[in-house]
Amino acid sequence: MPRFAANLGFLFPELPFPERFGAAAAAGFAAVEFAQPWDLEAREIAELLEANGLELVNFNLPMGDKAAGDFGIACLPGREEEFREGVARAIAYAAVLGNERVNCIAGKVPPGADAALVRATLLANLRHAARELRPAGLTLLLEPINTVDVPGFAVARPAEGAALLAEAGAPNTGLQFDIYHAAMMGEDPVEGLSRLAPVVRHVQFADAPGRHEPGTGRVDIAGCFARLDALGYEGWVAAEYRPSKATAQTLGWLA
């Protein structure tokens, strides 16, 4: 079976964030991830990881101002300097936390924006991030996100993400394939994982619709795991679902 990580932004919501590390370790996870580490000092997070014998596998680059409607800024013309500052901050955190991957959330295309300019901005930012991350031994991930949950998101399908990474042309990049987002776009995640296997560097999952634990929707998540095994995938597979009940009661798939 794949190596499983717990996304602490989603799992164990019944606990304060610092207590989720211990809960993940007690549940049998060897690794964790979360979108935004920025509310805590890197040293505080490192101590939580060490105390619970956990590895951190991934976090997102800074995503802008959520209160103002931001959901990633990499595609937004005029905010390149803010993006670059976020890359530098991520490198500093990763140096303390030990993760080898950093994920880019492209952002939402502003209404009426020039599509060509938005795409060019995203490509330039991906190239910059990859170039800066490489000396630190970090891989840049790009995550497509469905436009049902996030209307206007710049990169909605896994194949679009793979094409952008190919055009960016940086060796230390890869696709973050989210089974839930692919399914919400009407795609077959099992087929997508097979087709895009050469560029997949990280996988996340939730059932769809609903974004709850496996068995609550229509996605063949067991089939996805089996396909990853058959493909020889050696990366992490992160549980990024909203538990429909207490998290411990939703972990039958892990056993």
Cβ neighbour number for residue 228 with a 10 Å cutoff: 24
Q: Which two tokens stand for residue 67?
A: 């209160």
Under 8 Å between Cβ of 73 and 79: yes
Under 8 Å between Cβ of 6 and 206: no
Instruction: Give me the amino acid identity at 27.
Output: A
Question: Of 143, 167, 187, 234, which one is the catalytic site residue?
Answer: 143
Q: Is 50 a catalytic residue?
A: no
Q: Which of 110, 159, 161 is nearest to 140 (CA)?
A: 161
Q: Is 143 a catalytic residue?
A: yes
CB burial of residue 142 (10 Å; 0-12, 13-18, 19+): buried
CB burial of residue 53 (10 Å; 0-12, 13-18, 19+): exposed
Cβ neighbour number for residue 1 with a 10 Å cutoff: 11
Question: Of 33, 187, 213, 240, which one is the catalytic site residue?
Answer: 240
Residues tagged active-site: 143, 240
